[in-house]
């Protein structure tokens, strides 16, 4: 009977999905510290001193505090005056993970100055045994809130069902 209820719920969501244009969620207690060290590992690194852009390619893992961003390609943008990292752009198999949540997308842009993350293209967010998919997700890393837009589909599992 549980399978039937789940299948019916999914079917209703698929039919009603286009009617929902956005939803807001909370990503828990993400308190990203943009001043924390940012560690990046990859297969290759190319740096262009003139543009202030570093390109990491191949199994890229970027970590800052509890946040982990993985992708096949990551561009890191530096402030020309201070040499501080101001923004990261990732594409190809992008995953963002915290101790309690995970999100996947085609691309991600992490603005360290603004404390925001924008994930776009086939976004899938999992929180425990619940999942939300959409076309894009904008996360405020200061307060942990997020907004998802475009073909939002939600499966919320309550308790141990």
Considering the domain boundaries, does residue 10 fall inside one?
A: yes
Global pTM value = 0.73
Q: How many domains does the chain have?
A: 1
pLDDT digits (tens, 9 = 90+) for 40-67: 999 999 999 888 899 999 999 988 888 8
**111-114 long-range contacts, Cβ below 8 Å, gap at least 24?**
111/86, 111/87, 112/34, 112/38, 112/85, 112/86, 112/87, 112/88, 113/34, 113/86, 113/87
**For residue 144, what is the domain's CATH number?**
2.60.450.10
- Determine the structural domain holding residue 63 and report its residue range: 2-155
160 lies in some domain:
no
Does 33 reside within a domain?
yes
pLDDT tens for 58-105 read 999 988 888 888 999 999 999 888 888 889 899 999 998 888 888 899
Residue 9 lies in a domain: yes
Q: What share of the chain is helix, strand, coil (3-state, %, to 5)?
A: 10, 55, 30
pLDDT band of residue 11 (cuts 50, 70, 90) is: very low
Tokens at residue 56, please? 């990491």
């Amino acid at each position: 009977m549980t399978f039937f209820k789940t299948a019916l719920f999914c079917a209703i969501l698929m039919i009603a999905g286009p009617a929902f244009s956005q939803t807001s969620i909370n990503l828990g207690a993400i308190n990203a510290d943009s001043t924390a060290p940012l560690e990046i590992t990859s297969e290759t690194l190319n740096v262009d001193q003139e543009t202030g852009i570093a390109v990491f390619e191949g199994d890229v893992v970027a970590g800052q505090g509890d946040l982990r961003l993985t992708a096949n390609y990551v561009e890191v943008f530096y402030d020309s005056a201070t040499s501080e990292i101001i923004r990261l752009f990732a594409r190809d198999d992008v995953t963002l993970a915290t101790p309690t949540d995970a999100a996947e997308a085609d691309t991600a842009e992490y603005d360290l100055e603004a404390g925001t993350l924008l994930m776009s293209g086939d976004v899938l967010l999992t929180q425990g045994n619940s999942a939300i998919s959409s076309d894009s997700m904008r996360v405020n890393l200061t307060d942990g809130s997020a907004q998802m837009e475009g073909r939002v589909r939600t499966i919320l599992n309550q308790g141990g069902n």
